[in-house]
Amino acid sequence: MSAEKAGAEIAASQRLDKWLWAARFFKTRSLAVEAINGGKVHVDGQRAKPGRSVRPGTKLSIHKGQLAWQIEVKAIAKQRRPASEAALLFEEEEQSRLKRQEIVAERRAAGPAARSEGGRPTKRDRRRLSDLTGK
């Protein structure tokens, strides 16, 4: 194998953890490795290891909390780039995108989590109490 072929082969694939980091699915490679080892990332329907090579055309399934992405790798990036460029590295399935948007909309509609009544009152609560009592 010539040196040119080897260089082209290296550029055509990338470690899974590096690709997930470059595509901005995870803030750090360590978080990407944790998710991969935890079974949250599948490559072509099978669990993978962080060092697994991904190439354009590889299908990935990524789960983060309640959200899930079904994507196809479109390109490889040597470095982490801005989000607008990172979005060009993959193509998400339409069904996956719609389901994820539905979950996000439900979360927004639910509003913030309610504070339990027990425990110490917040500064805002204390101010309201002092206004009511006149102290």
Q: What pLDDT does residue 5 have?
A: 45
Q: Is the Cβ–Cβ distance between 22 and 74 less than 8 Å?
A: no
Domains belonging to the chain, first-starting first, are 3-103 (3.10.290.10)
Q: Is the Cβ–Cβ distance between 29 and 15 less than 8 Å?
A: no
Question: How many angstroms separate the CA atoms of 60 and 47, rounded?
Answer: 10
* Residue type present at position 45: G
Q: Does position 60 have pLDDT exceeding 80, yes or no?
A: yes
Min mean pLDDT across 37-41, 51-55, 80-84, 114-118 is at 114-118
Question: Which of 29, 103, 11, 17 is closest to 60 using CA atoms?
Answer: 17
Q: Does position 9 have pLDDT exceeding 60, yes or no?
A: no
Neighbour-count burial of 92, counting CB atoms closer than 10 A to its CB (0-12 exposed, 13-18 middle, 19+ buried): middle
Model pTM?
Answer: 0.75
